[in-house]
Structure 1
Amino acid sequence: MAEKSRTQMKRKEKETTEVTMDVKEVKNEGEKAVEHDKSPSAEAAATNGDQNGDFQVEPMELPPFETITGDRVDPFVFKFQFKNVEYSSGRNKTILCYLVDRGDTADGLLKGFLEDEHAGTHAEEVFFTQCLPHCDSAIKCTVTWYVSSSPCSACTAKIAEVLKARKNIKLTIFAARLFEWEEAEIQAGLKALHAAGCKLRVMKPLDFSYTWDTFVENDEQPLNLWEDCKENYEYYHEKLADILQ
C-alpha cells in the first residue's frame, strides 16, 4: 500500500509539473506576442474610432462548438486523451470510438469516432442521435464503445434510458479512465447503467493497442504503451469492480 501511495504521489507531481510547464509556455508566448505586436490594441482602436466617428470595434463572437466526427483519430490526440493516468489534468473532452454490428444487414459493420469538449451535447448522446438514430427492433444490434473516460452522471442516465427502450441494442463500454469515480452520483449512474444491461469494462493494455490499430491515423506504426499503463488499468479495474459489486 505504501508503494502504491508513493506511485500515486509521483504521478500527481508529474501531472502538476506538466501543467505548470504548459502554463509557463502559454504565458511566455503571450508576452512575446505583445512585445512584437506593433498594431494598436482593440481598446485604442475603439477609442480612436469613436473620436473620429469612423468605426466602432464590435465584440468578437466565437462560433458554437460542434461535435467532431470521423473515421480516424489524430495520433497525438489519442495518446494524450486516452492515457489512463489517475490525475487527468487538461483532458477535458471525450473521444468515443464505436463499432456497430447489425448482423447480416446490408449496412454491415459501422465504425468511426466522435469527439466533444463537454461544451454542448456529449459524445455519448450524439452517438444515439446521429450515428444510430434508428435501429430496427427486430434486428439485434451489438454496439461497442472505446472511450477516453467513462460517462458522466447525466450521460449514464440517458444511455440507460435508451437501453431500456430499445431492448435489441446490446452495449459494451471500454473506458480508459473512470470519470470522477469518487462522486456518489457517478457511482449511482454506473450502477444504473450496469443494471440496464450495459457491460462496463476498463481498457487493458491490449485494448489500447486494438483501438490504436483500428481507429487512429497511425501510419501503420505500433503503439508504444506508456510505463504505467498496466498498473493504472489494474487500479481502475479494482475501483470499477468495487462500484458494481
Structure 2
Amino acid sequence: MADKKRALPKRKERPEEVKDDGQKPEENGEVPSDSAAGAAAVENSENGTLQFEPMELPPFEVITGDRIDPFVFKFQFKNVEYSSGRNKTLLCYLVDTGGSGDGLLRGYLEDEHTGTHAEEEFFIHCLPNIDPNVQYTITWYVSSSPCQACSLKLAEVLKARKNVKLSIFSARLFEWEAEEVQAGLKALHSAGCKLRVMKPLDFSYTWDTFVETEEQPLNLWEDCKDNYEYYHEKLDQILH
C-alpha cells in the first residue's frame, strides 16, 4: 500500500494557531496567547498611556477527574492529520486488579506538557502504590501516543513490575516519523506493552465511558476511519 503524503502530527503547537472547527482558543480549553493571558496592562506615569508588563502565571497542575467535557474530548481526541493547538495529552484509564477487592478503577487525567507528562503522572496520582502481590491490568485511551522519554520510562516500569500489564490505545501517533520516537515505541512494545491505534468503535466506547455525554451519542467525524487506517499502518510498520 503506497504511503500517503501527510504532515507530521505534532503534540504541541501555539494555541493561537487553532483553526479546527472554527473555535477560538479559549473555547477549546487552550491557553490564550501571551499577549492576552500572560501580560497585565499598566499605566505609564509619564504620558498616561497603557503598557503591557509580564504577569507571573500560576504553577501548572495536572487535572484529574471522572468525566471529560464533551467539547474537550471531541477536539483533543480527534485523529486528524494536523494537530495544531492540541497541546494537551488526555489519558483515560481503566485498572483491573482482579480479585483483590478494589474493583475496577476508572478516570482520566490531562497535562499541558509544561511539567510531568500524563503517562508518568498516572503512576503518581492514580496508582502511586503498586502491591507486588496484586495483578494489575491497565488500559489507557490517550489522545496521542507517548513521546520517547515517556515510552522509555514506561518500559522500565513494566520490566521492573512483572505484575503490571499495560495496553495503550492512541487516537494519534505523536511525531511518528522521528527515529527516537520510533525507538521509544519499539522499546515499550518489547517490554510487553500492547500498543494499538484507536478504531472508530474505540472512540465511541471512550465517549460513553469517560465523557459527560448527557446521553448524547458521539457523531464520528467523516475521515475517522481513514485516519485510523493510516495511523494503524504506520504503527504496524514501526513495531514490525
The two structures have a TM-score, normalised by structure 2, of 0.82
Q: 1:237 to 1:60 in 2, by over 3 A?
A: same
State the shift of 1:48 in Å. 7.8
The residue correspondences of 1:144-223 to structure 2 (distance < 5 A) are: 144-223=139-218
Structure number with larger C-alpha Rg = 1
State the shift of 1:234 in Å. 0.2
The residue correspondences of 1:65-80 to structure 2 (distance < 5 A) are: 65-80=60-75
State the shift of 1:18 in Å. 2.3
Amino acid at match of 1:172: S
Amino acid at match of 2:138: V
Tell whether 2:98 aligns with 1:97.
no
Query: Which blocks of at least 5 consecutive residues in structure 1 are unaligned?
Result: 10-15, 34-39, 50-56
Cα separation, 2, equivalents of 1:153 and 1:209: 28
> Any conservation in 1 of the 2:186–2:238 contact (CA below 8 Å)?
yes
What is residue 19 of structure 2 aligned with on the other side?
Answer: 18
What is residue 42 of structure 1 aligned with on the other side?
Answer: 42
Q: Deviations over 1:210-245 (max 9, x none)?
A: 000000000011000000000000000000000000
Q: Deviations over 1:89-113 (max 9, x none)?
A: 1111100000000011221100000
> Any conservation in 1 of the 2:41–2:53 contact (CA below 8 Å)?
no
Q: Deviations over 1:58-101 (max 9, x none)?
A: 85311011000000001000000000011111111100000000
Q: Deviations over 1:146-188 (max 9, x none)?
A: 0000000110111111111111000000000000000000000
Runs of 4+ in 1 over 6 A off after TM superposition: 21-26
Q: Give the total of aligned pairs.
A: 218
Q: 1:2 to 1:130 in 2, by over 3 A?
A: closer
Which of 205, 221, 241 is equivalent to 2:236? 241
> Any conservation in 1 of the 2:18–2:25 contact (CA below 8 Å)?
no
- Bigger helix share: 1
The two structures have a TM-score, normalised by structure 1, of 0.81
Identity %: 73
Cα separation, 1, equivalents of 2:127 and 2:25: 43
Q: 1:25 to 1:128 in 2, by over 3 A?
A: closer
Amino acid at match of 2:187: A
Cα separation, 2, equivalents of 1:158 and 1:220: 38
Q: 1:43 to 1:134 in 2, by over 3 A?
A: same
What is residue 13 of structure 2 aligned with on the other side?
Answer: none
Q: 1:23 to 1:141 in 2, by over 3 A?
A: closer
What is the SS of the residue equivalent to 2:182? helix
Query: Which blocks of at least 5 consecutive residues in structure 2 are unaligned?
Result: 8-16, 28-32
- Bigger strand share: 2
Tell whether 2:114 aligns with 1:113.
no
Which of 129, 134, 138 is equivalent to 1:143? 138
Cα separation, 2, equivalents of 1:190 and 1:88: 20
> Any conservation in 1 of the 2:18–2:85 contact (CA below 8 Å)?
no
What is residue 129 of structure 2 aligned with on the other side?
Answer: 134
Cα RMSD (Å) of the superposition? 3.1
